[in-house]
Amino acid sequence: MAEKYNTREERRKQANSNKTGKSKKKPKGIFKKIFLVLVTLGIIGVVAGGATFAYFISDAPKIDESLLKDPLSSKFFDKEGNLLTEEGVEKREYVAYADIPEVIKNAVLATEDVRFFKHGGVDILRLGSAVIGNVTNGFGSQGASTLTQQVVKRTFLTDEKTIKRKVQEAWLAIKLEQRYTKEEIFEMYVNKIWYANHAFGIATAADTYYGKDLKDLTLEEVAMLVGLPQSPSRYNPFKYPERAEERRNIVLHLMNRHGFITEAEMKNAQSIPVTKTLQAQDTSKVDTTSYDAFIDQVIEEVQSMGDYNPYTDGLEIYTTIDKDAQKYVYDMLNTEDIIQYPSKSLQAGISLIDTKTGEIRAIGGGRNIQGKRVFNYATEAKRSPGSTIKPIMDYAPAIDKLNWSTYEQLTDEPYQYSNGTPIKNAGGHYRGDVSMREALERSLNIPALKALQEVGVEEGYAFAQELGIPIPKNNYESGAIGGTQSVSSMQIAGAYSAFGNGGIYNQPHTVTKIVLRDKTEIENKFTSKAVMKESTAFMISDMLKGVIDESYGTGQLAKVSGLPMAGKTGSSNFDAADKKRFNIPSAGVPDSWMTAYTTNYTVAAWIGYDKKSEYLGKESQRIPKKMVKELMTYVHKDDKPEDFKQPKNVVKRGILKGSNPAVKASDYTPKDQVTYEYFIRGHEPTKVTKQYDKTSAPVGVNASYDEASNSINLQWNYPQTDSSKTPEFEVKVSIDGGASQVLARSSTMGLTIQQPNPGSTYTFTVTAIVNGQKSASASASVKVTAIQEEPIEPEPDLNNPEETDDTGQNDQGQDNSNDDNNNNGNNNGNTNNPGNGNNNGNTTNPGNGNNDGNTTNPGNGNNNSNGNGNNNSNGNGNGNSNGNGNGNGNSNGNGNGNGSENSTGGTGGTTEPPQPPIDAENTVPPAAGDNP
């Protein structure tokens, strides 16, 4: 038992003995434990590091090829090929690897990655050196990024200096090297790097700092550019030329160190001040505000041509813009210098295009517009076209499909749509039968509707669609006056340009071609087609000229003197509910239009308000006409266009006004009854009016001189074949070959000319006039016999034998004649006696009755006159002759002895010798339109 139960001390000793034995084995166990710990930590580190690496790369972005394509700005050129502006996220010029000069390649490699063509995306040697540097000086103090890694960082990653970013950068660099060649990656690098002053890519930098292409740069210039990317702001040569020069010299040193240049080349380049070849900084900023509306449309068009992005693809875009016209349109809308506007809220859209090509020259996108890529009122505002639709949908289809002439008769009368809804003209009046020409010039609604109904609603809408007018789902008759369509000014201008282009429609466009970065040219393919007959286009144009030129035309305010221009006005209406709601007057309208064209340009102008509560008054509605006038004057200031050319299949005919169906005017139709209209050849009228047949000429014209009565008798006959026509005769006379003067107009066929000039030759011309139409003339001549007069002795006064001169009073009473007046007809002297006929000189004999001339025999014949001063009987009494023997029959001499200017004394019924002008009271001016 004792052996089993030792004392406490023995047991203590035994325990100590055991401890001593174990302590001798301790060193071996410690190393083993340390090794196990290190292995464990290593495994844990590898696992943890691998997991961390796997996590980092799992979260790395994918290599997106589209992101490797740098966003390059595009250049926009005007119609002359001159640079207009540049648009894009950044302004870049791209350079292909093959176009990069060797000196630039060497400078980049020497400075950034001399082993670029030897590593696989990550340079292990540089990485090891960088790790040591980062341990010694702190993480991030030294970089080891290759060109490939820099491309990855600038394309897919941020600039933060973290382990995660560095791991992802290395991983993506390796992946990038597997997908692209070294040359492609080098090209990506030099085009991505930022060089300060808004210059992305080395080609842009060369232009920014030196105004040169890459191939023209010198060694010191290349070195300066290559040194910038390390810290573009710090080494900006415009701000810090000393720093830039210091950095440039480091690049030159590295190029020499790596054997790309000699020491002499290095020192020579380093000796040149950096500012010596540096160009002045361009601080100017071109204001392209006036072009914004046009550029917006260009961008839309380029994107519609294919998968092209003007903001990123670095395109060269060749446009159709006329810079001067665009600036003028912008000023017209945004200043008060050309047009005065009633309010700032009034909006407008203007489109100017080339009539022959459809190329857009200018776009007025709105008034008081701020910023780019905003709403464009010329291309995006869709409003009711009003009456501007009439030529497009109503009249052109009728000419094209039904062979209507410009004279086609339409009745303007109270009328209804087919559904029974009334239709009215703008003024509420009706003009009865009118030609298509007049209906269009006056913009009458009812004839327009009738035209559409005749041609067919479906046909009219289809015709408009061919002209680029958008068509609603349902075709209504109200479309005849613009009641259903919504159009832009660009669409209206495009449609009207086809009228001025012989029926050829060219889709309005702003781009002629684009050039890609690889210099591939892409032509703009736009719609161009014949949409109507040439005859239709011409006849519409000729009628629309009247809209501007005629005094009653609705577009006369747009007239430009001397410019052959056609056009059409239009306006829309508020519906009854809006009129009542906003208290809009009857004359207020929401839209007002004017479109016009020459063979050179077509313009469409629209104005209106965005809010329904605002309206255009009468004065505001004139603004589009003024816009057109001013713009057309400006664009034609140096180039007068040709007039619209009449096609061979169109004929012009004189038509009797008011005839229905049309009949041709005859050669004898008065000019004021003829209207000249155009017809499709083969569809013109053949019947000639008989309303104005040829008027027969007078026949048997005879003129004879009666010496006894000293008068000329003129007589003629007329072969009257139509008893319903009563001719009027115009008689003209010429004396001794002088100018012809109208002697008389009467319905009788005879005329007596009293007291002709002795010895003169009278030539008479007689013309018949029937219904305003003159006949040919018939003539006759006669020579008047010269009269030899002998001196006449005065006869004694039997009543006053002691008196030889009458003192103005006779025995019986006071004579009413005055000394200086032509008393008693043509008496040339003074007399106290009444009724002495044509006595020459003084006489005391009263009433010479049947005596010829002067006589001393008193009171012969049936003369009832005597010397009584107040006797009312005339000097020749009731005898068969006048006082001078030349009277006609029972004519009275009217010689009351009054010495007034109008008394004729005793010359009863006679005509004085004709002295021009002859018989002035009977002279009637020729009728308007008379034929010679």
In the annotation, is 112 catalytic? Answer: yes
Q: How many residues make up the chain in this entry?
A: 932
pLDDT higher than 70, residue 133: no
- 844 band by pLDDT with thresholds 50, 70 and 90: very low
Tens digits of residue pLDDT in 888-913 = 333 333 333 333 333 333 333 333 33
Residues in a beta bridge with 770: 773
- Bridge partners of residue 566, in order along the sequence: 597
- The per-residue pLDDT for 335 is 94
pLDDT bucket at 690, cuts 50 / 70 / 90: confident
The count of other CB atoms within 10 Å of the CB of residue 550 is 16
Q: Please report which confidence band the pLDDT of residue 52 belongs to, taking 50, 70 and 90 as the band edges.
A: low
Hey, which residues does 521 pair with through a beta bridge?
515
Separation CA 388–CA 330 (nearest Å): 24
Assign 460 a pLDDT band (cuts: 50, 70, 90): very high
The answer to whether residue 808 scores a pLDDT higher than 50 is: no
* Band (298; pLDDT cuts 50, 70, 90): very high
CB burial of residue 578 (10 Å; 0-12, 13-18, 19+): middle
Quote the CA–CA distance of 384 and 573 in Å, as a whole number.
9
Instruction: Compute the Cα dihedral for 435, 440, 444, 447 and give only its sign.
Output: positive
Q: In this model, does residue 59 exceed pLDDT 70?
A: no
Peptide bond preceding 916 in cis form (omega within 30 of 0) = no
| pLDDT higher than 70, residue 674 | yes
Q: Average the pLDDT over each of 282-296, 632-646, 705-719 and give the range with the smallest value.
A: 282-296
Per-residue pLDDT at 141 exceeds 60: no
SS3 call for 763: strand
Cα dihedral sign, 327-330-334-336:
positive
DSSP result, 847-863: --TT--SS-S--S-TT-
* Distances, alpha carbon 828 to alpha carbons 272, 803, 843, 916, in Å: 122, 20, 11, 21
* Active-site residue (options: 74, 351, 387, 881): 387
Question: What digits encode the pLDDT tens for the residues 85-119?
Answer: 988 766 678 899 999 999 999 999 999 999 999 98
Which 3 state secondary structure label does DSSP give 318? strand
pLDDT for 857 equals: 39
Collapsing DSSP to helix, strand or coil, 209 comes out as helix
Q: How far apart are CA 540 and CA 300, in angstroms?
A: 33
At 454, the pLDDT band (50, 70, 90 cuts) reads very high
Q: How far apart are CA 909 and CA 920, in angstroms?
A: 17
Q: Tell me what pLDDT residue 813 has.
A: 35
Q: Pick from 838, 831, 797: which is nearest to 816 by CA?
A: 831
User: Average pLDDT, whole number, for the chain?
Assistant: 80
As a whole number of angstroms, the distance between CA 157 and CA 48 comes to 24
Number of Cβ within a 10 Å radius of residue 197: 18
Of the two residues 158 and 386, the one the predictor is more confident about is 386
Beta carbons of 327 and 290 less than 8 angstroms apart: yes
- Find the range with the poorest average confidence among 598-602, 684-688, 779-783, 927-931: 927-931
The stretch 736-755 carries a mean pLDDT of 92
Instruction: Lowest mean pLDDT of 298-302, 311-315, 660-664, name the range.
Output: 311-315
Say what the pLDDT of residue 51 is.
56
Mean pLDDT lowest for which of 69-73, 141-145, 524-528?
141-145
Which pLDDT tens digit goes with each residue over 172-223? 888 889 999 999 999 989 988 888 887 888 999 999 999 999 999 999 999 9
Q: Which class for 552: exposed (0-12), middle (13-18), buried (19 or more C-beta within 10 A)?
A: exposed
What pLDDT is stored for residue 144 in this prediction?
Answer: 63
Pick from 78-82, 648-652, 786-790: least confident: 786-790
pLDDT of residue 879: 37
Average pLDDT estimate for 17-38: 54
Nearest to 567 by CA among 441, 707, 407: 441
Q: Who wins on pLDDT, 373 or 559? A: 559
3-state DSSP of 879-904: CCCCCCCCCCCCCCCCCCCCCCCCCC
The band of 71, judged by pLDDT with boundaries at 50, 70 and 90, is: confident
Tell me if residue 620 falls in helix, strand or coil.
helix
**Of 301, 278, 280, 228, which Cα lies nearest the Cα of 74?**
301
Distance (Å, whole) CA 493 – CA 95: 42
| Candidates 73, 87, 93, 112; catalytic one | 112
Question: What is the mean pLDDT of the segment spanning 409-436?
Answer: 94
Q: What is the pLDDT of residues 489-500, one digit of tens each?
A: 999 999 999 999
Provide the pLDDT for residue 5.
39
> 220 an active-site residue?
no
- Mapped onto helix, strand or coil, the DSSP state of residue 132 is helix
The alpha carbon dihedral of 237, 242, 244, 245 has a sign of positive
**Cα 441 to Cα 447: distance, rounded to the nearest angstrom:** 12
Strands 316-319 and 74-77 come out as parallel
DSSP3 helix / strand / coil % (the chain, rounded to 5): 35, 15, 50
Rg (CA), the chain: 55
Which of the 8 DSSP states describes residue 621?
G
Looking at the chain, the whole-number percentage of residues with pLDDT higher than 70 is: 73
Which amino acid belongs to residue 207? Answer: D
Structure confidence at residue 428 (pLDDT):
86
Tokens of 410: 């339409």
Q: Cis before residue 661, ω within 30 degrees of 0? A: yes
DSSP string of 337-402, one letter each residue? SS---S-TT-EEEEEEEETTT-BEEEEE--SS--SSS---TTTT--B--GGGGHIIIIIHHHHHHH
**Rounded Cα distance, 546 and 554, in Å:** 9
Q: What is the pLDDT of residue 199?
A: 82
pLDDT in tens, 228-287: 998 888 899 998 999 999 999 999 999 999 999 999 999 999 999 999 999 987 765 567
CA–CA distance, 915 with 181 (Å, rounded to integer): 115
Q: What does the alpha-carbon distance between residue 477 and residue 485 come to, in Å, rounded to a whole number?
A: 11
76 backbone dihedrals φ, ψ, rounded to 5° = -110, 130
781-790 average pLDDT score: 78
Look at residue 796 in the predicted model and tell me its pLDDT.
Answer: 54
Residue with tokens 């002295």: 915
pLDDT of residue 156: 76
To the question of pTM greater than 0.75 for the whole model, the response is: no
**Helix pair 102-112, 147-156: axis angle to 10 deg:** 90
Q: Which of the two residues, 71 and 298, has the higher pLDDT score?
A: 298
Q: Supply the pLDDT for residue 799.
A: 53
Residue 596 pairs in a beta bridge with 567, 603
